[in-house]
Amino acid sequence: MTLNFERSNPMKIQPVLMPAVKRIALVAHDNRKNEMIDWANWNRPILAQHMLCATGTTGSLLETEVGLDVTRFRSGPLGGDQQIGAGITEGHIDFVVFFWDPLESHSHDVDVKALLRIAAVYNIPIACNRSSADFMVTSPLMAGEYVRLAFDYESVVSPAEEAGVRL
């Protein structure tokens, strides 16, 4: 299915299949790590059915404290948030649970903002607190395949490309 809104938007909308086994990224700032562990323990039966990845310390805690299999990236300030963002753009992450601390200043705030932005750009479900995470993982949509609609950014031609400039 390709929807094309020629008048208002030249970008095409593409269906993207999320498999029944979702690829979920888990991130928690330091002040929210205990909450993430509590939440993961509470939702362990659901999370264990999916493929999980996480930033460094969060992933380590999920393995040792909750007993989940987790692919670990670098810690957030050392590029982990960017690795998750890259995973979204490459189609390797379907869902993000990011218990971020909006009241605390972080050295990598720009990375946090970029991750939140890229999730929105690619229409990736993202839960930023325990309540939204609970609603999302217990949704009937988690149990099966789901088709999310996302802009086909590959179809967008940049002004440089239109002018014949090769980068």
Active site residue 109: no
Spatial neighbors of 161 by CB under 8 A, at least 6 apart, are none
Instruction: Out of 69, 81, 94, 111, pick the active-site residue.
Output: 81
- For the beta sheet containing 126-127, the strands, ordered from the edge strand earlier in sequence to the opposite edge, are 70-72, 51-54, 23-28, 95-99, 126-127
Which amino acid would we find at residue 110?
A: V
Residue 21, Cβ density class (10 Å: 0-12 exposed, 13-18 middle, ≥19 buried): exposed
Question: What residues are labeled active site?
Answer: 81
